[in-house]
Amino acid sequence: MTALSVTDLTKTYAEGKIALHGVSLSVDAGAFFGLLGPNGAGKSTLIGIISTLVNKSSGTIRVFGHDLDRDPWAVKSAIGLVPQEFNFNSFETVEQIVLNQAGYYGIPRRLARRRAEHYLQSLGLWERRDSVAGTLSGGLKRRLMIARALVHEPRLLILDEPTAGVDIELRRSMWDFLRHINDQGTTIILTTHYLEEAESLCRDIAIIDEGRIVENTDVKSLLQRL
Ligand code: ADP
Ligand code: ADP
């Protein structure tokens, strides 16, 4: 089964900047997929379009068979997004932020509370559930965004540079956590500019440069050629 299928995707920003020039890409269900590329390559734009936050100019997106244009809500429901920038309300508590997201997806209150506890526990945030989010360290904020992205149990988790600016110890524990949820069946796509991160986590990768996919292969054969 295909988790994500992108066909001839283009994006031109308002000022005329072309960020994506006809990108096509396919990610299998269950994959741990890395999207690599230098700054400005188009990674965030591509992820933004897939997670329905940025409008595309042309092309087709399907997520588990759902067409983004025909059924954006099905696409939204299938995806959990961990953006690069902290985008929660920093005056709300950790638990509230996760519960709000559950509310957005229409998850009943009791189930939402159970799931919030489960994901906050597994990310080491349960003791901080009543803390106002703005008081958390950068690493804990990043983990809060992961818990928030998982509360509706999406089939596809997308993370934009999840370990940028995260210290080595926390990076390792985040890697372990992501491997664990991938083993449990969640498809994962992450962007990174660390080849080491892609090498350690991903089976398949695409390299994007100046809005074009320049490589789409498995990590092993790429490393053999380098
Ligand atoms: P990456 O995530 O790989 O660093 P981006 O998708 O953020 O790349 O950016 C791709 C290109 O599009 C860059 O040249 C960037 O400057 C441009 N860009 C990104 N967002 C906008 C925007 N909102 N308006 C205009 N140009 C943008
Ligand atoms: P707004 O743009 O007003 O913040 P939205 O209705 O777009 O609100 O989204 C509400 C909440 O859901 C926000 O926290 C947003 O970050 C999150 N969200 C929106 N789309 C997605 C998605 N595809 N996956 C995960 N979270 C999403």
Best probe residue, ligand 1, of 18, 20, 45 (max atoms within 8 Å of C-beta): 45
- Of 14, 27, 105, residue with least CA distance to 61: 27
Cβ atoms of 18 and 184 closer than 8 Å: no
Best probe residue, ligand 2, of 82, 101, 158 (max atoms within 8 Å of C-beta): 101
Strand order in the sheet with 156-160: 79-82, 156-160, 187-192, 32-36, 204-209, 212-218
What's the mean pLDDT in 153-162? Answer: 96
Cα-to-chain-centroid distance, residue 219: 19
37 lines ligand 1 (CB under 6 A): yes
Confidence of residue 208 (pLDDT cuts 50, 70, 90): very high
For ligand 1, what atom is nearest to the CA of residue 44?
Answer: 2
Confidence of residue 126 (pLDDT cuts 50, 70, 90): very high
Q: Give residues (CB < 6 A) around ligand 2.
A: 51-53, 76, 79-81, 87, 101, 104, 149
For residues 194 and 55, the model is more confident at 55
Strand order in the sheet with 2-12: 18-28, 2-12, 58-63, 66-67
CA of 117 to the centre of ligand 1 (A): 36
CA of 42 to the centre of ligand 1 (A): 6
CA torsion sign for 65, 71, 74, 78 is positive
Sequence-distant (≥ 6) Cβ neighbours of residue 195 within 8 angstroms: 36
Per DSSP, which regions of the chain are E strands?
2-12, 18-28, 32-36, 58-63, 66-67, 79-82, 156-160, 187-192, 204-209, 212-218
Which element (helix H / strand E) includes 116? helix 109-122
Confidence of residue 168 (pLDDT cuts 50, 70, 90): confident
Residue of minimum CA distance from atom 2 in ligand 2: 53
What's the mean pLDDT in 206-225? Answer: 90
How distant, in Å, are the alpha carbons of 31, 38, 90, 116, 141 from that of 200? 14, 19, 32, 29, 23
Question: Taking all residues of the chain, what is their mean pLDDT, rounded to a whole number?
Answer: 95
Q: Which two tokens stand for residue 109?
A: 């209150």
Query: What was the ipTM of the complex prediction?
Result: 0.74
Cβ atoms of 177 and 146 closer than 8 Å: yes
Best probe residue, ligand 1, of 17, 21, 191 (max atoms within 8 Å of C-beta): 17
**For the CA of 18, the nearest ligand:** 1
- Of 35, 10, 8, residue with least CA distance to 24: 8
**For the CA of 43, the nearest ligand:** 1
For ligand 2, what atom is nearest to the CA of residue 76?
Answer: 23
Confidence of residue 66 (pLDDT cuts 50, 70, 90): very high
